[in-house]
Structure 1
Amino acid sequence: MCIFRIMLLIFGVILSGLLNGIEATAFINVSSSVDSRCRNYIDDIVRHLQQPLISLQAEIIQMQQLKESFKHFLDSLTISNIEKANIQFTTETEMSQNITNSCLGKSTGIYKIKVPGLNPFPVSCDSTLITSGWTVIQRRIDGSVSFNRKWEVYRSGFGNLNGDFFLGLEKIHLLTISQKHELYIYLKDFNGEDRYARYSHFLVGPNEDNFKLISLGDYSGNGGDSMAAHLHMEFSTPDADHDNHKSLHCAEWITAGWWYNSCTQSDLNGLYKLPESESQTFGINWFTWHAKTLKFVQMMIRPV
């Protein structure tokens, strides 16, 4: 009799589990279905039946989760990665076809240019400050970027092309030897007054010569010639002393990189200081105009 009841119970348990999604709660309370003489026996059987069903339920849930994850992966691959790769390939192909060796003919913005010895790299082109076609090699506008950098950083370049930055000595060298360039330096103080200095032939030497300032050409402008004292000087940084001072490491003292002589008649990479600063020393200076630190400076080059 107990076996018959057990068989009925097993059939009910299985049927109940199937109809209810193979859930553990589908099993009925055996204590209400059979007398006490069969309870222990039936409980053991039910426990044995429960385990594979619970395991099966867990596997089904795991498979559903894997299915959803795989679906999301396929969606992501189809929508994002493949299309993005195609767009990127198209964009880079179009850019490579339009990449030139300067900013000539370009409006103000960020563009890639190429010079012998380097892969194409982005530059800031300026066609609004004065005339068109200038490649910006240095800018100080708000002091958001520190110019107290080591030699290798000055060599490769740093900062934000839309804000404060230094293009990099290696790039400047390769640009200026690839063809003749002129240099235009724009200066603006905290009173809103501005000046400029223009040089007809700007040329920077290679790393082997510590990026020596080889040539400036002829000067013109209304800011005075503060670069003349730095002609033929090698570039110095706080960790690389190449200046002419007998007892002082100018770059370390001023905490910036520049073509220091003994030490400076100009320093456009100096500390960005507000006009109320007690000392204007080590600021952004152009001493043939005045000794006060400057608010905005921009160095630009253009093929001649």
Structure 2
Amino acid sequence: MAACKDSTQKPLPVMNENIYTEITMENNAHMSLTVTRDQIYSEQTFQDNVQIPLPVMNDHIYSDLTTDYKSESFVRSDRAANKKNIRRNYVIALIVLIIIIVILSSILILQNVEQEHGETVQRNIISKCTVTDCYDYYQRRMTTSGVYTIHPFGDNSPQVQVYCDMDTSGGGWTVIQLRHDGSVDFSRNWTEYKEGFGSVSNEYWIGNDVIHQMTKNNDTRIYFSITLTNGSTLYQEYDRFSISDESDGYRLFLSKPTNGSLGDRLVDTGISANNVVGMKFSTIGLHECVSGFGAGGGWWYNDCHDAYLNGPYNSKKWKQPWDPPIQNGIEVSRTKMMIRKC
């Protein structure tokens, strides 16, 4: 067996570009190594499993890889920061919205409390003051039409329910007569007209005692309204209206000026026998016109009448509700008489 020329490993020589080096090692192991600037190729045919480390990358390649890595890191960092900002802004907006809702809710609650308190105070004030008619309510800013309670005879007297018209011709009108469907019969006796009858939420006559009490100071005007079956409404308003007490027969006092679309058929009709100013109130058995031409309804009659709103509803027997222009009750669907302080 031949002895090895040299059993120790020798370091590889430094290689230049395109240099081929042949090294003969122990056991006739042979390794060929070709190295260029752009390529490293290594082939091992020996049995010692000698590993040759890869060359270190040049500064340019390393710099490019590092820059790419850093750029990708910055992008990831920016995306994370943006998501975080979006979440934070969303939370802030939600908190602001909740605060606004709480504030608005508090304001609405306070307004409702103040309104309820104001209405309570107003009702207490009104209850301590005598309300004699609808105009008193209207002056206290209670301006919704409907049923109200008044005290025309004073605080200690029986209260009276009435319908208040807060819309027509300035509002504040106390309705003393109302008809619209014929459900209440107006062919009544003296006592019934004295005390009143019907329902204020439907059809009614308020009562002659109440009318006298509300008009005795001669500071009241009256408004007559007739709605026809064709839907049109005509009216007449008189500047002064009052009636005397029962002992004087509820005598009628009415004066001009007057205005409206019906025309005057009460004060100056052109026929003195049909003028009703100064006439006493009459019911069945007290005046021949009541049972005949008036068909049973109570009213202020002279020889008879040219205007009369208490005849039999929707009937030809109801003569001259307001003539002219209305000749019989077939043409009438609704009537209303209202009074108000001047």
User: Do the aligned residues in 2 keep the contact of 1:272 with 1:283 (CA within 8 Å)?
Assistant: no
1:285 pairs with one of 321, 325, 328 = 321
d(CA) in 2 for partners of 1:284 and 1:95? 42
The alpha carbon displacement at 1:93 in A equals 7.8
The alpha carbon displacement at 1:263 in A equals 1.1
Larger Rg: 2
d(CA) in 2 for partners of 1:96 and 1:152? 30
User: Do the aligned residues in 2 keep the contact of 1:181 with 1:202 (CA within 8 Å)?
Assistant: yes
d(CA) in 1 for partners of 2:300 and 2:172? 26
Match of 1:109 in 2: 146
d(CA) in 1 for partners of 2:130 and 2:237? 27
TM-score by length of 1: 0.62
Match of 1:222 in 2: 261
User: Do the aligned residues in 1 keep the contact of 2:197 with 2:207 (CA within 8 Å)?
Assistant: yes
Match of 1:97 in 2: 128
Deviations 1:27-49 (A, max 9, x none): xxxxxxxxxxxxxxxxxxxxxxx
What amino acid does structure 2 have at the position aligned with 1:155? Answer: K
What amino acid does structure 2 have at the position aligned with 1:173? Answer: H
The alpha carbon displacement at 1:101 in A equals 1.5
- What aligned pairs does 1:131-150 form with structure 2 within 5 A after superposition? 131-150=170-189
Q: Percent identity?
A: 31
User: Do the aligned residues in 2 keep the contact of 1:188 with 1:297 (CA within 8 Å)?
Assistant: yes
User: Do the aligned residues in 2 keep the contact of 1:99 with 1:112 (CA within 8 Å)?
Assistant: no
d(CA) in 2 for partners of 1:258 and 1:153? 13
User: Do the aligned residues in 2 keep the contact of 1:115 with 1:178 (CA within 8 Å)?
Assistant: no
Q: Secondary structure at the match of 1:269?
A: coil
Match of 2:228 in 1: 189
Match of 2:245 in 1: 206
What amino acid does structure 1 have at the position aligned with 2:321? Answer: N
More helix by share: 1
The alpha carbon displacement at 1:215 in A equals 2.5
More strand by share: 2
Match of 1:87 in 2: none
User: Do the aligned residues in 1 keep the contact of 2:318 with 2:328 (CA within 8 Å)?
Assistant: no
Match of 2:285 in 1: 239
The alpha carbon displacement at 1:250 in A equals 1.0
What amino acid does structure 2 have at the position aligned with 1:141? Answer: H
What amino acid does structure 1 have at the position aligned with 2:178? Answer: R
d(CA) in 2 for partners of 1:156 and 1:206? 13
- Runs of 4+ that moved beyond 6 A: 92-95
Q: How many residues align?
A: 201
d(CA) in 1 for partners of 2:203 and 2:217? 25
For the aligned residue pairs, the C-alpha RMSD in angstroms reads 2.1
Structure 2 gaps, min length 5: 1-122, 268-274
Going from structure 1 to structure 2, the CA distance change for 1:149 and 1:284 (only over 3 Å counts) comes to: farther
Which deviates more, 95-104 or 175-184? 95-104
Which deviates more, 114-123 or 136-145? 114-123
